[in-house]
Chain A
Amino acid sequence: MGAHPAAAPPDDVRAMKRLLLALLLIGAALAAAVFALNRLDEAPVEERSAGESARPADAAQVERGRYLALAGNCAGCHTARGGAPYAGGTGIDTPFGTVFASNLTPDKRTGIGEWSASHFWRAMHNGRSRDGRLLYPVFPYPNYTRITRDDSDAIHAWLMTVTPVERPNTAHTLRFPYDTQASLAVWRALFFRPQAHEPRTDRSAEWNRGAYLVNGLGHCNACHSGRNLFGATTGTMDLSGGLIPVQNWYAPSLAAGEEAGVAGWDTREVVDLLATGVSSRGSVLGPMADVVFRSTQHLTPVDLTGIAAFLKELPQVPPAPRPAALTSAGPYAATLQRGADVYEAQCAGCHGTDGKGRPGAYPALAGNRAVTMDPPANLVHIVLGGGYPPSTQRNPRPYGMPPYATVLNDAEIAAVLTMIRNSWGNGAAPIATPDVQRYRGGRGSGG
């Protein structure tokens, strides 16, 4: 019998098969790479032994863990408003959905009572939960990965002494595909590597302590740097400022003199700001007030001095040319006059007709970086919502500013901010009414 040419696969089918095979192999290789990258530097975990739970905790280690948990501001997320300490429940809104902080109390069923020190270390260092699930980087393990095993064990020992609270974890409400472990594995393969803190021998011990705290537990870059499309930061050393997602406060650059850089500050001023919430250079409001209130006010002068030393030596970007101040001779004459009227009526009583404020109580607006900074998010938030710097041990009774969301409309706020940004030697771009609208959210009526 002759051959059956029709039975032989035509060329294009063979090519298709080869292509499919190639794609399959590439897919398998990628999956294997993602899998391997997700398990880098993982030590085998030991289960929590009966001995471990029975052993009386070393008091010094527990105390150190309590302190380190403050340095990491664990309670900032893991203690809900009005809730039991470390019992979790706070929702953290992200562009991908809401992630709910977990229960860190040693409750055996709903908390971390069954976690051994090595489970805890794997969570901190590798971002993996006791049951093997990958953790969302809202829990800042891209920073915590840098802390030492010793410090991780101390925090674990401290958490084991917290009053256990039975509160089942709230399920995250992330959108597809962000709610899948597979997408999280890909994210981690792209953006996360376990790391250890490498001390720099060419720097002082003080600087190294500061670097360890800022890059590790302090997780400063979680706010003070931008994030890419996938929500990843660009490395813990990048502190070049960023808009905090959803909250829309701007965490200013620590590497720029016209934002929040402290290269030109005295160490004393940096330490004061972090310890008390106020300094001769300015005061903290908004998300940074939270950081001072819950975390930095509790740090020792030695650690704060280390943080100051590190921040003062951050490479600074050269200052941008300052815009010339708008004047009443230009097209903004009417806006500036309207702003001056509002200022006289609402602001001058505390901040002074000369914009010099009152040291220790009301910040100067003249020469104030927060006033001229772009984006003007914080400035608008402060006028809308007012606020007090935090009550701290050294400044327990701060002076405050009333909210103006219900007093001034968007156009009035835009006018007074434009005027403040262009008076007393300040010079900055004008604020338009829609800029105020953007940040108002649900606060009061803007019309």
Chain B
Amino acid sequence: MFRPPARLRFAFCLATAVSWLLPFQDLVAAPAFEDSTAQRALACTGCHGREGRAASDGYYPRIAGKPDGYLYNQLLNFRDGRRNYALMTHLLEHLSDDYLRELAGYFSGLDLPYPAPQPAAVDNATLARGKALVLNGDATRGIPACAQCHGEALTGVAPAVPGLLGLPRDYLNSQFGAWQIGQRKALEPDCMAQVARQLRPDDIAALTGWLAAQPVPTPSKAANSLPAPMPLPCGGMPSGDGRASGGGAAR
């Protein structure tokens, strides 16, 4: 079960305040009911923000405009126990692969502007170290650059690699923690778990400090391909048919 650490309380209060206001406008100004995916996705936008565009000032990640294969893989991961967050697992528990793919496609297809990033929460030396890790990695320790997989613009690579910008720092930090202790997993071979386990706490503080302070470029969409092969094999990557793999998880 997720228990926010005390220092996240303020962030939570803020997120709560924001989510109080947004649904209020949404629901009372009442978009008429329609038989659409957007209508069905209202169960998601309570936390992930209107149209899935949660800002970087809370905890929940934005999902609007993320690569569809990435979103689909995450929905499967929550449903099938490779990621652990009780509220997500409960919501998705009895939804079919096809329906999850539809929901992922809906949020992926939204092309909405990003708000400005949060001001940097770390000093300049840490920012510089974070930037170097993200863009160049650390060859002496065998740590690949984030950009090698997540794209030179860090906006992700279609269909299954997520962008790293426009996310709350608290969310980024907690994901690294979850990868390191095995609470967040992907299909084997789990490349991100391997990378995360090589990182020290000061590495993580530096790279999330830098990432969370970067503006999202325009266009914000994921790249279509990487200039070079990925440094590690990754299980969540597309299979031969060009779709994200992972739908075969037995239920």
Binding site for B on A (CB under 8 A): 79-85, 277, 289-290, 292-293, 344-346, 348-350, 358, 361, 385-391, 396-407, 441-445
Contact = CB atoms under 8 A, between A and B. Distances in A.
A361 B16 contact: no
The 7 closest A-B pairs by CB, nearest first: A349-B27, A442-B1, A402-B46, A82-B80, A400-B43, A390-B94, A391-B96
Contacts of B44: 402
Given A391-B96, A396-B99, 16 more contacts: A81-B81, A82-B80, A345-B28, A349-B28, A361-B33, A361-B39, A386-B91, A388-B43, A388-B94, A391-B94, A399-B39, A402-B45, A402-B47, A405-B87, A407-B20, A443-B2
Contacts of B26: 349
Contacts of B99: 391, 396-397
A358 B80 CA distance: 31
A386 B9 contact: no
The A contact surface, by secondary structure, is: loop
A293 B33 CA distance: 26
B42 A445 contact: no
Interface string B60-98: 000000000000000000011110001100111111101
B105 to A, nearest CB: 12
B15 A406 contact: yes
Nearest to B19: A407
Contacts of B16: 406-407
B9 to A, nearest CB: 7
B84 to A, nearest CB: 10
Given A345-B27, A346-B27, A349-B23, A406 B87 contact: yes
A84 B1 CA distance: 24
B160 to A, nearest CB: 18
A290 B46 CA distance: 23
A104 to B, nearest CB: 14
B250 A85 contact: yes
B251 interface: yes
Interface centre among A85, A277, A405, A441 (most CB of B within 10 A): A405
B20 A345 contact: yes
Contacts of B24: 345-346
Interface of B: 1-4, 9, 12, 15-16, 19-20, 23-24, 26-28, 30, 33, 39-40, 42-47, 79-82, 86-87, 90-96, 98-99, 102, 249-251
A442 B45 contact: no
A396 B100 CA distance: 11
B175 to A, nearest CB: 18
Given A348-B27, A400-B91, A405-B87, A84 B250 contact: yes
A124 B16 CA distance: 51
A397 B40 contact: yes
B46 A445 contact: no
A443 B86 contact: yes
Contacts of A293: 93-94
Given A82-B249, A402-B44, A441 B1 contact: yes
A82 B27 contact: no
B91 A387 contact: yes
A81 B95 contact: no
Given A345-B20, A402-B42, A79 B91 contact: no
Contact of A79 (B2, B95, B98, B251): B251
B47 A403 contact: yes
20 contacts: A79-B251, A81-B79, A82-B79, A293-B94, A346-B23, A348-B27, A350-B27, A385-B86, A390-B94, A390-B95, A391-B94, A397-B99, A397-B102, A403-B90, A406-B19, A406-B47, A406-B87, A442-B3, A443-B1, A444-B2
A383 B9 CA distance: 21
B46 A404 contact: yes
Contacts of B3: 442
Q: Which among B42, B45, B94, B251 has the highest number of chain A CB atoms within 10 Å?
A: B94
B200 to A, nearest CB: 29
A74 B1 CA distance: 27
Contacts of B23: 345-346, 349
Nearest to B30: A349
A191 to B, nearest CB: 32
Contacts of B42: 350, 399-400, 402
Contacts of B79: 81-82
A443 B92 CA distance: 16
